[in-house]
Structure formats: structure tokens, C-alpha cells
Amino acid sequence: MRSYSLRMVLLGIVTCSQPGLGLAQTPVDRMQQMQAEAVYSNSQYRPRPYHFGAQPPGTVFSNHTSHSNRLVPVYVIGDKANLGAVTGANSKYRDAERLKALYGRLPEHTLNPNAEYADQSDLYQVQADAVQRGARHLFIVWFDGMDWEPLRASVLARTGKDLEPGPASGPQWLGPLGLDGVPIQFASVVTSPTHGDPPAENQDLDHQVRRDLDTLLPGGYDPRFGGPNAWTPGPLLAMARGYLKGQSATAEEQAQIVAAGGVVHAYTDSAPSACEFASGHKMTNDAINVLDDDTPAKTLFQSLQEQGWGVGTVTSVPFSHASPAAMYAHNVSRDDYQDLSRDMLGLFSIMHQVGKHPQLPGLDVVLGCGWGATLALEDSRKQGRNGEVGPTYVTQEDLHTIDADRGGPYIVAQRIPGQPGSDLLQTAAARAAQEQKRLFGLFGTRYGHLPFRSANGDYRPTVGIKGTAELYSADDLIENPTLADMTRAALSVLSAQPHRPFALFTEAGDVDFGLHDNNLDNAIGAIASGEEAIKTIVQWVNQHSNWDESVLIITADHGHYLVIDDPKAVAGAAR
């Protein structure tokens, strides 16, 4: 066998074409090479096309691998929706009393009489108002972790053109996806939670209660650091770059924030951020639709279901992860996966057992990953007393209970060795539509998500900050559907009864996976997979509906701390 230097592997000059088949020389795309070089030189002080974290340009590549407190962009398409009702003069951030009601207190340095941005919880009202005005199809495409900079990097690396700021970005980014000439509303939204991360010992999963939330780091948003919109840094950020790192800021960074006249505000995790979008209420990190007084919050999907709507979730990551679960389920912990799954699938969960919420009917469509993931005994105990050893996200007993072939309400489609995942899923969707059954799909790889299609779409991911790259077998690629395939299957089931309105949540969840690994190549590929899902939705609307009765909301739950230092270099990846 040939030998290759570590540097050659890191730079992507050689890659594994298939696990176990050895190394083979293959062409390298510029984005892959740029990413690998950044990881290889992580600790060196040098100019870079981009970096992750609060450090100044020209230093190390990464000092932060988690979320940030940046504003995130939101795009809205559809005549019945009105972003103007919650932005500009209508922004809660201009009103002290409304802010106090939102957070449960008036966060320091958060009141802004000139705020143009909205709060993410306001998007609940945008959806509800659109339904009230007559919208019959509600589509949400959720790019987990994608604030302005990853979106901008994606456009730069694949088109060679920089993303125009503000409303002009909508037609530029979304026009080629089938929305050319369609009006696109744009805004920036705050994502900060009421409080930061509760320690595990403060959470009682068996009784669904928490303790001492008021001792946690509070949320808020200071535009002097965060900026007035999603693409403009605040005037004080250069003095205290660690502000956006929130609870992850070092002691030195926290001192810089205070010296600049600010305070540390908690950044959100995916759970409360998605929940405020789904329910209209802010929450503490880690909770799924449970308010700070431990009472459950009703979601829009639940209300719509009570009105006769079909509701479904689709994701490229585990199906009961925080964002899809937030559309429907309840739990004090986003990590109580098996109970969140029970809520989503209409089974008896811990929330029902302790009398906090009546049993839910279950979503009409639940598609995502988690296939093959298992819980050891120690990990099962972290999911409460009823956690079971075995499959992580849905127990074997629960899977049998929901299976239509055993008398349950769901046609079940799982990854099967040797069978193309797209065909298997479409066959199951057609059966569910014909028999008027629900649809549950379980797919994925050992990495917990669908295979990454890296920036150039070749499914050969390069290294992230952990120094490793994901490797997919031919079976991984054949036996899994794409996010667009899942979206198409969900639409076929939800629209099987033509006169029944429906709401569909579709998540490109692996954008977040890529950015946590400081892997821009993977994140760009994940954004592209979300774009294919948008195309699928737009095609359905054009064929079966219109933008008078359909609403599409495209946004994210939070940002990361990507900084593009040299846009021209990133744009060079497109050549």
C-alpha cells in the first residue's frame, strides 16, 4: 500500500474513495482544500479566508465550536404573511414593557428604540396570522445553525458572488430555487433564550420539573455588540468580540465585555429557539415547549391539528432532535429522546404519565434519522427512569406499536440493506397516501445524519476541527434518501386529501453538525441539501397551489461564530 503524509490527507490531496479499499488520488475542489488547510494550520497565526470564534483575523483558526448570540435572517414568501407586523416600529425591542413580558424581566442593554429586528417568538404570530387570513399550506424550512455568514459563504463558494445584504439577498439566493419574481419579505430576529444552560442535576425528568432557573445566566441582546441586523457587527464588538460567545466566553472575554459597558447574555440552543418559533413563548435552554414555571406551552402545530390540519416534520438529523420535536412535543430536557418520540408519534410519554399534558394524537408525518443508534445502560439512565436500553430514538416496543402492519397508525419505512432509500420511502409514502395512514421514516448513517454532500456535492467530506472526516460506504449513499426525497414523500402524504390544509416543517439540521465541527465545506453542502428541499416545496406549490394560499418561511434557530475574513478567497472556491 502507498504511504501518505498526514498533511496530504488533511489537505484532501488523497481521500478514501470507499472505506476499506485504500487511498486513491482524486481531484480536489477548492473549498475542500481551503477547509483542510485551515484545520491543518489551526494553531498558526496567519491570514485566513475565514475563521471560527472571537479571535481577531490573522490569528488561530478556531477558538469556539458552539452557537453565538447573533441575529439570524428570516425570509417569508406568501401573500397572507406579514413580517412588517413584528418589525420596525412594531418591534418588541422598542418597548420596555413588551420586552419585560417577553423575557420575564427587562434584560440589560436590550431595549433599543431604533430596533428594526423582531424576536424569533414573533414568527409564531406571523404564522398564526397568515392562517387566520386564509393560508391553507404552511411550509417551514429550517437551516439549523445558519446565520448570515454561513449563508454568505455558501453563496460565495458556489456562485463566486458575494451575498447582497438585507432584502436584496432574498431574490439573489432564493430566486434560482424557483422563486424568481415572487415577492420575498426579509427580516432579522433575536434568538436569545430567557436563561442559559441548566445543569443536569437541576432537571428532574421523572417528574418533569426543574430547579433554580433564576440562578442561570440570563438572555438578552445588546445591539452595540451584536449589531443592528444580521450582517452588520455592532460598533463595540471590536472591543469585546467575546460578547457573541455568551456563556462560552472566557474570563478574559467577559472582562472585556464589562469594560466596554456591557454584560454577558446567554446564547440559545436549538431547543428554546425552535420552541419560541413554534409556541410564541421564550424559554430556558434545553427545554422543549416547557415554560420557566414548568407548565407546557401549546404549539401552533397542535392548534392546527385540532382544527383539522395535517402536520408533519422532516429532518436530516435524528427525528426527535430539538428542532423537529419543538414543533409538537413537550419535555424539560431536549435529550429525553424516547419520550419526545412518544409525543411525536402519539404514544404515552412521561409528560402524560405525570399529568402535565394529555396524550397527543401524533404527527401525520415523521421523517428523519436515528437508524442504528443505540443507548447503553448508562446513557439510558440519562433519559429518566423510563429510558430503555437499545434503540436511542424509538424503542422497539414503540416501533411495533405504531406499525400499521401490526395494527398501528403509521406506515413504517426504515433503512434496509441493499434497498435504495429513496425508492423505499416513496413506496411507503404512496401506500400511506392511498390507505390514509400516517408515515414514519427512520434513516441515517452512523454519524447521526444523512450523508453530507460537501460544497461541490460529491459526498467526500474533509476534516473538521476534530481532525477527522466522515467516510461513507456505497451503502450509506444508496440506502438513504435525500432531504428533498423526504420532503417529497411528506408532501405526498399530507396532500393526499386535497381539501385538507397542512403544515410541514423541513430541517437541514446537519448545517449545525458541520458548523459545530468548524467544517465550512460540510455546512455549505448541508445548506445545498436544504435548498433542494425548498425547490421541492416550490414545485409543489406551483403545481398544486399558489402563493395566495401558501406561506413559506425560511430561517434558522441560531447562528455560529463564523467570520469571513477574505470573501474573494472564499469566492475562488467556485472557479
Secondary structure of 484-548 in the HEC alphabet?
HHHHHHHHHHHCCCCCCCEEEEEEECHHHHHHHCCCHHHHHHHHHHHHHHHHHHHHHHHHHCCCC
Distance, CA of 180 to CA of 280 (rounded, Å) = 31
End-to-end CA distance of the chain: give it in Å, rounded: 33
Mean pLDDT of 527-537: 98
Among 120, 115, 314, residue whose Cα is nearest residue 228: 115
Distance, CA of 175 to CA of 260 (rounded, Å) = 41
pLDDT of residue 146: 98
pLDDT of residue 14: 37
pLDDT of residue 27: 56
CATH number at residue 99: 3.40.720.10
pLDDT of residue 270: 97
Coil, helix or strand at residue 321: coil
Above 80 in pLDDT, residue 6?
A: no
Q: Which residues contact 306 (CB under 8 A, 6 or more apart)?
A: none
- How far, CA to CA in Å, does 225 sit from each of 93, 166, 252, 363? 15, 19, 16, 40
Please give the residue range of the domain that contains residue 287.
72-211+267-574
Question: Using an 8 Å Cβ cutoff, are 523 and 44 in contact?
Answer: no
Domain membership of residue 16 (yes or no) is no
Above 70 in pLDDT, residue 147?
A: yes
Mean pLDDT of 487-506: 97
Question: Using an 8 Å Cβ cutoff, are 33 and 463 in contact?
Answer: no
pLDDT of residue 269: 97
Above 70 in pLDDT, residue 430?
A: yes
Q: How many CA atoms lie within 13 A of 61 on its CB side?
A: 21
Residue 26: all three cell numbers together: 482524486
Mean pLDDT of 547-574: 97
Question: Using an 8 Å Cβ cutoff, are 544 and 177 in contact?
Answer: no
The predicted-structure confidence for 203-227, as pLDDT tens digits, reads as follows: 999 999 999 999 999 999 999 999 9
Burial class (CB in 10 A: 0-12, 13-18, 19+), 8: middle
* Mean pLDDT across the chain: 94
Above 50 in pLDDT, residue 282?
A: yes
Which pLDDT band, with edges at 50, 70 and 90, does 9 fall under?
very low
Q: Which stretch of 21-30, 247-256, 422-431 has the lowest confidence by average pLDDT? A: 21-30
pLDDT of residue 381: 77
Coil, helix or strand at residue 73: strand
Domain membership of residue 274 (yes or no) is yes
Domain membership of residue 62 (yes or no) is no
The residue type of 215 is T
Coil, helix or strand at residue 92: helix
Domain membership of residue 557 (yes or no) is yes
Among 138, 181, 125, 185, residue whose Cα is nearest residue 549: 138
Question: Using an 8 Å Cβ cutoff, are 9 and 28 in contact?
Answer: no
Residue 514: all three cell numbers together: 458541520
Question: Using an 8 Å Cβ cutoff, are 371 and 443 in contact?
Answer: yes
Q: Which stretch of 7-21, 224-238, 436-450, 470-484 has the lowest confidence by average pLDDT? A: 7-21
Residue 419: all three cell numbers together: 434497498
Above 90 in pLDDT, residue 376?
A: no
Report CA torsion sign: 470, 473, 477, 479. Answer: negative
The residue type of 99 is L
Mean pLDDT of 189-203: 96
Distance, CA of 454 to CA of 435 (rounded, Å) = 38
Domain membership of residue 6 (yes or no) is no
Query: What pTM was computed for the model?
Result: 0.95
Question: Using an 8 Å Cβ cutoff, are 533 and 217 in contact?
Answer: no
The predicted-structure confidence for 317-372, as pLDDT tens digits, reads as follows: 999 999 999 999 999 999 999 999 999 999 999 999 999 999 999 999 999 999 99
Number of domains observed in the structure of the chain: 1
Above 50 in pLDDT, residue 162?
A: yes
Domain membership of residue 192 (yes or no) is yes
Residue 423: all three cell numbers together: 425508492
Among 392, 391, 394, 422, residue whose Cα is nearest residue 410: 394
Which pLDDT band, with edges at 50, 70 and 90, does 28 fall under?
low
Domain membership of residue 110 (yes or no) is yes
Phi, psi of 408 (to 5 degrees): -85, 180
Domain membership of residue 140 (yes or no) is yes
